[in-house]
Amino acid sequence: MKSIYPLLLLVLFIFLSCNQKNKFSATIDSSEDSLSSYLSLANDFNLPPEKRKQFNQKAFSIIIDQHSDSLNTVNLFKVANRYYNMDRWGDFKTTVDVILEKTSSNQDTISKLKAYNYLGDFYVTQGVADSAFIYYSKAEKLYLKREDVYNLAKTRLNKALLQFNAGDFMGSEITVFNALRAVKGQEFPDIYYDSYNLLGTIYTEIDEYDKSIEYNLKALSSIDNEIMPSVFQSKATSLNNIGYIYQNSNRHKKAITYFIEGLEQKNLKTDKASLYAMLIDNLAYSKFKTGDFTDLPQQFYEALKIRDSLQLSSGIIVSKLRLSEYFASKNDSLKSLKFLKQALDLSMTSKNYRSVLLALKRLSTLQPKKAAFYAKQYIRINDSLQSSERKIGEKFTRIEYETDQIKSENSDLMIRNRNMVYFFSAFAVLGILILIIKTQKTKNRELLFKQEQQKANAEIYNLMLSQQSTIEENRIKEKNRVARELHDGVLGRMFGVRMNLDGLNGFQDQIAIKQRTAYLSELKNIEQDIREISHDLSKEKSELINNFVVILDRLFEEQRKTYKSKFISVIDATIRWESIDNAVKISLYRIIQESLQNSNKYADSNTIKVAFSQAENNLKLEISDDGIGFNLKTAKKGIGIQNILFRVQECNGQVEIKSNKGQGTTIIITIPIE
């Protein structure tokens, strides 16, 4: 609920200005004891406000009859300060007008400068933003000329407040940072406090709550009780601001803790009744939002009573809007409507159009039959408010730069800046397009390379198969030769032995026995020859069936001969290699090659193992070593690893890489087969 901000800013503004006014002091002659006493009593915050007012009036009546000199001006400023701290705006304005009249005749530049600042303060309280901005701008120029950085920063903060109230949040932010820049590197805790406080308020208004809390906490930590008297209640102000941020973001329980802590500050009600009323009202509203109705609506009424006594129209509007919302929740539509209409009337009278919009919005909810009427008023006032804010912003600009010519130059500069932004934006877009085109070309080249690589792999494998076919032809010729040997040699020998044994069957002498023994020995030799030929033929048959296995065996044999690591290979004999696509075989062969190369170059392993197995419709390849391993999370994927991943993907398979430093590496590849 942002309608609370006019009152929040009023309190913040008071803190911005009070330090400045209390810095102005002068010694008073001992002959003026009564004047000194009146001024002291008027500044005694332990006394009731009415008593303090009476003592200040007595002091003013003494000063006004005195001779006009610098001491007289100092005393008038003291009277003005006290009226300011008592929220006696009419008396404050009268006193400052007297000061300006006196300074015009005696050419007192310093007093005139202060009077400009004080008049700016007055018009702020009266809601006349353009007049306030004029006087602050006059004061700013004089402070800048005199290199008075403290008061320059104060004046800029006052201007920033006006910009904020006009809805120029960006302009207000810039002005605050200009104020901070003026005192950079110097010890002015009150300047930093006020600057951070206002920045927190700006960021709350534009819903940047995190930044708002950050700057309000900075404001809280910059409080210096020696420079910033406790009567200003700076800590209570910051606590209220932080609580309000949490209230705005619907974190009411968190907000309540800050409001309670703010209310616990010593002498809060006496020192700053308006701030006390704000904290009570905020606390009551957050309690109401959390469903805690303790001391409600009494706390709302207490805040309203204080604001009414101080004639704080913005605060009165907030209290009545919240009371309306409270009674609406209690289904007391009569009271809710009464307070809401009172808030609307006061908002219209005081020209607080933001509150008018809020009241109209709620009225349309309470009185649905008149919703269309209120909606039309809402749209009309909202458009008018936006137009008014634009106009006041333009008026601030004219005051700031004083001449239309400078305004025109500023406009030209904005156009040039805009054109530069357009140019650099177009240049950036062009650069991005070029980068995208180059990236696409690179990807295309990479794709073509992979396609060529696949084609080359296929050709290499076909050459390997061709070579293997040649070997097989030679083996077939050798087999035919062996068959002829069996037919012409072994069978002939067996036939001769059989014939001779048949001839010896009728003889039983020693010569016959000896000859039969010799023929039996010959049969054993023939049997051994047949066994050896059979074994060779069986081996050749297996090799003919498993051409891919033969190719792998050659790769494995080369590994064993070349590298010192122990190499183990296990190939499941049940795998039907002839049913596996050649493209898959090529990929598996290349993956094994790449893995062995990586192990040989980087792993420093003692043992390397390659194993093929088959489970259901999947072919599984596992390559492992007991080398140094690597960290999968931090290691970069080199070309070798990328090639392995790509080949497995091409085979519609899955790959799992397990490795840790000092624990070796295992690559498990699973490829579906029919």
Q: How far apart are CA 428 and CA 433, in angstroms?
A: 9
Give the dihedral of Cα atoms 336, 339, 342, 344; nearest 10 deg.
-60
Q: What type of residue is 55?
A: F
**Most confident range, picked from 227-231, 287-291, 554-558, 595-599:** 287-291
Comparing 379 with 3, the larger pLDDT belongs to: 379
Q: Is the pLDDT of residue 474 over 50?
A: yes
Question: What is the residue-wise DSSP string for 110-160?
Answer: HHHHHHHHHHHHHHHHTT-HHHHHHHHHHHHHHHHHHT-HHHHHHHHHHHH
Q: Residues 82-101: pLDDT tens digits?
A: 888 888 888 888 888 888 88
Q: Please name the residues in contact with 658: beta carbons below 8 A apart, sequence gap of 6 or more.
A: 665, 666, 667, 668
3-state secondary structure of 571: strand
Question: What is the residue-wise DSSP string for 299-326?
Answer: HHHHHHHHHHHHT-HHHHHHHHHHHHHH
Q: Is the pLDDT of residue 5 over 60?
A: no
**Most confident range, picked from 110-124, 494-508, 555-569:** 555-569
pLDDT at position 362? 80
pLDDT at position 599? 85
Q: How far apart are CA 326 and CA 335, in angstroms?
A: 9
State percent of the chain over pLDDT 70. 76
**Most confident range, picked from 473-482, 492-501, 508-517:** 508-517
Q: Is the peptide bond prior to 297 cis by the omega test (within 30 degrees of 0)? A: yes
Count of C-beta atoms within a 10 Å radius of residue 642: 10
Q: Is the pLDDT of residue 255 over 50?
A: yes
3-state secondary structure of 612: strand
pLDDT category, 242, cuts 50, 70, 90? very high
pLDDT at position 146? 85
pLDDT at position 670? 92
Contact at 8 Å (CB) between 151 and 190?
no
**How is residue 320 written in tokens?**
């009545």
Comparing 357 with 241, the larger pLDDT belongs to: 241
Best CA proximity match to 158, nearest among 190, 194, 205: 194
What is the H or E stretch that residue 257 is in? Answer: helix 252-263
**How is residue 622 written in tokens?**
């596992």
Residue pointed to by tokens 């109401």: 288
pLDDT at position 394? 59
Tell me the backbone φ, ψ of residue 39, rounded to 5 degrees: -65, -40
Give the dihedral of Cα atoms 598, 601, 607, 608; nearest 10 deg.
20
pLDDT at position 18? 45
pLDDT at position 6? 42
Comparing 250 with 531, the larger pLDDT belongs to: 250
In a 13 Å sphere around the CA of 495, the CA atoms on its Cβ side amount to 7
Best CA proximity match to 610, nearest among 602, 597, 601, 618: 597
Q: Is the pLDDT of residue 669 over 70?
A: yes
Contact at 8 Å (CB) between 520 and 441?
no
pLDDT category, 440, cuts 50, 70, 90? confident
Bridge partners (DSSP) of residue 623 are: 610, 667
User: Which whole number is the average pLDDT over 308-331?
Assistant: 90
Tell me the backbone φ, ψ of residue 207, rounded to 5 degrees: 65, 25
Domains of the chain by range and CATH? Answer: 1-194 (1.25.40.10), 426-545 (no CATH), 547-672 (3.30.565.10)
Q: Is the pLDDT of residue 320 over 60?
A: yes
pLDDT at position 392? 61
Q: How far apart are CA 391 and CA 385, in angstroms?
A: 10
Q: Residues 32-67: pLDDT tens digits?
A: 568 888 888 888 888 888 888 888 888 888 888 787
Contact at 8 Å (CB) between 468 and 551?
yes
CA 635 to chain centre: 28
Residue pointed to by tokens 């708002």: 212
Q: How far apart are CA 169 and CA 502, in angstroms?
A: 127
pLDDT category, 299, cuts 50, 70, 90? very high
Bridge partners (DSSP) of residue 669 are: 621, 655
Q: How far apart are CA 316 and CA 532, in angstroms?
A: 117
Comparing 407-416, 424-433, 664-673, the range with the smallest average pLDDT is: 407-416
pLDDT at position 609? 93
Comparing 129 with 604, the larger pLDDT belongs to: 604
Count of C-beta atoms within a 10 Å radius of residue 525: 12
Q: How far apart are CA 196 and CA 165, in angstroms?
A: 17
Contact at 8 Å (CB) between 629 and 596?
no
Q: How many residues does the chain have?
A: 674
pLDDT at position 472? 64
**How is residue 203 written in tokens?**
């960021």
pLDDT at position 275? 93
Q: Is the pLDDT of residue 24 over 80?
A: no
Q: Please name the residues in contact with 221: beta carbons below 8 A apart, sequence gap of 6 or more.
A: none
Count of C-beta atoms within a 10 Å radius of residue 338: 15
Best CA proximity match to 263, nearest among 252, 276, 245, 253: 276
User: Which whole number is the average pLDDT over 172-187?
Assistant: 90
CB neighbour class for 148 (10 Å; exposed up to 12, middle 13-18, buried from 19): middle
Q: Residues 369-406: pLDDT tens digits?
A: 776 776 777 677 766 666 655 566 556 666 665 533 44
Q: How far apart are CA 169 and CA 389, in angstroms?
A: 11
Contact at 8 Å (CB) between 239 and 210?
no
Q: Residues 614-639: pLDDT tens digits?
A: 887 889 999 999 988 887 777 666 66
Comparing 249-263, 357-371, 501-515, 659-673, the range with the smallest average pLDDT is: 501-515
Comparing 509 with 321, the larger pLDDT belongs to: 321
pLDDT at position 607? 92
